Amino acid sequence: MLAYQDFVPRQRFQPALAFSPGCDLVAYSSNADGRSALWTVPASGGPPRKLAQPPGRVVRQVAWSPDGASVVFTADHEGDEQYGIFLMSLADDEPTSLTEGSDCQRVLATNPFDPTGRYLVYAANDRDPTVQDLLVRDLTTGSERRIEPEEGVAFVPTEISPDGHWLLASGFRSNTEIDIYLIDLTDPEPKPRCVTDRYGTALFQPQAWAPDSSGFYLLTDLWGFTAVAFYHLADDTLDSVVQHDWNVELLDAANGTLIWTVNEAGRSTPYIRRGERITTLPTIPSGVISTLTLAADGQKAAVLLDTASRPEEIVLLDLNDGSLRYLTDARPPALHTIDPIEPESITYPAADDRTVHAFLYRPRTPGPHPVLLSIHGGPEQQERPRYSALYQYLLHHGIAVFAPNIAGSTGYGRAYQKLIYRDWGGIDLDDLDHAVRYLATHTDLDPQRLAAYGGSYGGFAALSCLARLPYRWAAGVSICGPTNLVTLAQDAPPTWRTYVDTVLGNPDADAQHLLSRSPITHADAIDAPLLILQGARDPRVPRAESDSLVERLRARGVKVRYEVFPDEGHGFTIPTNEVRAYTQTADFLLTHLRGNGQ
What contacts 198, CB < 8 A, 6 or more positions away? none
Q: What pLDDT, on the 0 to 100 scale, is given for residue 596?
A: 41
Residue 485 has a pLDDT of 93
Q: Which pLDDT score, from 0 to 100, does residue 57 have? A: 85
> Any bridge partners for residue 475, and if so which?
451
Other CB atoms within a 10 A radius of the CB of residue 69 amount to 13
Find the helix or strand (DSSP H, E) in which 207 lies: strand 204-209
Contact criterion met (CB below 8 Å) for 316 and 324: yes
Q: What sign for the dihedral angle of Cα 581, 584, 590, 593?
A: negative
Question: Is 348:355 a contact under the CB 8 Å cutoff?
Answer: yes
| Dihedral angle, C-alpha 589, 568, 411, 483, nearest 10 ° | 70
Q: How far apart are CA 122 and CA 162, in angstroms?
A: 17
As separate numbers, helices (DSSP H) first and strands (DSSP E) second, the chain gives 9, 36
Q: Would strands 37-42 and 49-52 be described as parallel, antiparallel, or unpaired?
A: antiparallel
How confident is the model at residue 78, as a pLDDT? Answer: 65
**Predicted model pTM:** 0.82
Residue among 90, 44, 97 nearest 64 (CA): 90
Residue 371: the pLDDT is 98
Going from the C-alpha of 369 to that of each of 231, 365, 538, 547, the distances in angstroms are 53, 9, 35, 33
Element (H, E) at 499: helix 497-503
- The 10s digit of each residue's pLDDT in 511-521 is 999 999 999 99
pLDDT digits (tens, 9 = 90+) for 92-102: 888 988 887 66
Which architecture characterizes domain 343-594 according to CATH?
3-Layer(aba) Sandwich (3.40)
pLDDT the model gives residue 102: 67
What order do you get walking across the sheet with 324-326 strand by strand?
Answer: 288-294, 300-307, 310-318, 324-326
> Which residues in the chain land under pLDDT 70?
78-79, 101-102, 596-598
List phi, psi (to 5°) of 564.
-110, 130
Name 596's Cβ contacts closer than 8 Å, sequence gap at least 6: none
Task: Break the chain into its structural domains and give their ranges.
Answer: 244-329, 343-594
> Considering Cα of 82, then 84, then 90, then 93, what sign does the dihedral take?
negative
| pLDDT value for 81 | 78
Distance CA 459, CA 465 (A): 10
H helix intervals, 224-379: none
Q: How far is CA 167 from the centre of its chain?
A: 25
Q: For 158-200, how does the pLDDT look when each residue is reduced to its tens digit (9 = 90+)?
A: 999 999 999 999 998 877 789 999 999 999 889 999 999 999 8
